[in-house]
Chains A and B, each alone.
Chain A
């Protein structure tokens, strides 16, 4: 197969992914500002028309208004949680990979492996007993659940570069520790992390939405997309918009992110060749001072 052939569908895929992501992201970012302008007063339950472009839900609230307000919690909690997981797990993984003492690596990574298979929705339900309705508690829980996996991934991605002749050469030339850590290891982790962040945020959005859907997360009156899908599901045929609109937002976001991550994975495979080229370069520089 020639090289240019698979590239075109891939670019098409990226455009599609960007288009899919655009709507839920816009709704989440600007929706809360827009909502007061377009939301009419409460109407009858499950009404269609009558000034409500998407009708009303079981409590008579305007569906479009709910949709515009529900984004920040549906996407923000998950995104914040993954960011926190990378801050914690990423630094742990980098530290473990960079340490040249096996004991440090063991001490840092063993607890991570014990925590790795904890079922996420179970932990969320335990947390939900006491801290129901608090987005911060859910975000912290999801972050804590993701951090071990992130630490393992980052460590595995950085380990190759940490043992490479490039790292050795940098150390011998007296480069600072932070330059080795962030300049070399950080760069080696980047393509892997970029693809992982996409799928991880999508999964976190799933988890948070499922928790909200089950009533383990936000209050049942919240505008969150997961909560509103659960609240109106009995009226799926009477008022389909109340269920389909927030569900569509969630699906568009996760499908878009997964497509984007899939596209990012392909360059990550090519990055292997780049790393090998870098190693060859390092061998040359090592020889040069002679």
Chain B
């Protein structure tokens, strides 16, 4: 049976089990939207194309499925670029469909034409311009396969208007594409090496990253750490891959990592790094990073190996399959650790934890952002999916909300995209309507995609926004305070809308707390309401994120802020 391109697109999406598209219509995709009008496919109309990509991204991070967007050509397409680059840096599977002018006009500077495959080439895993109707169905199938296989990532598919209007036969059972799956090759020799390294190590440490969450390897990693009593630290992207309330958990490492995680990295003699890429925010100066340790690195992507940190034993493979092999090998060969050595190491770690715990000064007069997050954790019992914006709000969340489960901390790690949290929360909440989904935001970031409040209101997607409002671009201000002698160049954002009134204008609920004693009751109320709620917490204006490793410094050399921080 002959079908039109627009019909094939929707059928192909059904084949891929797509249950929602985040999108925004326009000239080049009118035919597709006309088909959507007749279809049962769910579509969430965002208010800006960047919001569509972040929403699909949040959906993908929380569900582990491929997120899907649909936008028009030209500006619609270019508006997706920040979202695509965000997903690319964090290896999130997306398929972004962009409209394109008819093939005959490509290259002629037609109205709303842009070379979006050229623009997104460096920030997608792959992209396609569909040149003929016969290529459409195979391309869509390839796009989804590429997005979710191996190290996942965003794929863009550019759809010229005339191709979508053309007709061809559609037979999904007979579409042949290349195999993009990475086959797992067991490496017994490497497992023997790991065995030896673990046996001779006195101070082993596990460092878990986003690859453990993407690879669905949290259970294996947790099992390994608990069985052999190995303490665990994590990167920002790894939060939730090991239970944040487990005594073996040391919290995040790196620039705003905990004192004890950074000390453990600097003193361990064996570092088992799983699904990490040793970002500069994690390592501090490379020279002293884990300087006393032999490093084992497990990653699915060979290009992540020896990129920043030269490792002693690279193992290229899927994190889940490789950790499973490792657990089996260690058990089969009766790996045991010296209880005395381990007790000493865990004792040392506990001593560091006791010396400089993660804390802040609660003066009773001002709302401290850390207190808001701690209270949110208490009230939700940690049973919530949290998205963040970028900056101080993100770092405080990473420090003070103890994530016990994978796929529950949704944040732009690599690119650090302000404006991510609200649309991402909408995508998450769409996927998990019964879960408490909270965007922990800053007043700077939230304004970058504030228009998505309308999306939440329209579809009754009841996200909760915890706005840590200090009237500053807080993280930039913090750097200006510490490194630019308090010259607060263009970081004062006191001129801002009244967020409560703004929320009300969008048809959602706005609440405000200005005193510490109001925090808990406002949070309780906001979380209990069956509507989108924006809670405006007027926090201590010049609170800084500590610990902080100064740029270019060794991560064991941390600034701890004011003295009262250290109990």
A and B, one complex? no
* Residues of A bordering B, CB below 8 Å: none
